[in-house]
């Protein structure tokens, strides 16, 4: 089994940015916030190294 030690700082940064974008969309265009919803969820899973 090949286990690499890779940094997840970029993925955590993408998670934070996409979460902020999703929350901003929830405030200003609530009917479209679901379009940005998959991104923070995907980056969270990747940052936690579950995927």
Domain membership of residue 40 (yes or no) is: yes
Q: If we measure between CA atoms, which residue out of 4, 5, 27, 51 comes closest to residue 15?
A: 51
Q: Are 1 and 30 in contact (CB under 8 A)?
A: no
pLDDT tens digit sequence for 3-36:
566 778 999 999 999 999 999 999 999 999 899 9
Q: Span 39-49, mean pLDDT?
A: 95
CA atoms within 13 A on the CB side of 16: 6
pTM of the model: 0.81
Domain membership of residue 4 (yes or no) is: no
What is d(CA 45, CA 11) in angstroms, rounded to the nearest whole number? 9
Number of folded domains that form the chain = 1
Domain membership of residue 39 (yes or no) is: yes
């Amino acid at each position: 089994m090949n286990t690499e030690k890779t940094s997840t700082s970029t993925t955590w940064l993408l998670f934070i940015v996409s979460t902020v974008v999703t929350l901003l969309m929830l405030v200003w265009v609530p009917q479209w916030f679901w379009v940005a919803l998959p991104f923070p969820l995907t980056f969270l899973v990747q940052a936690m190294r579950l995927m």
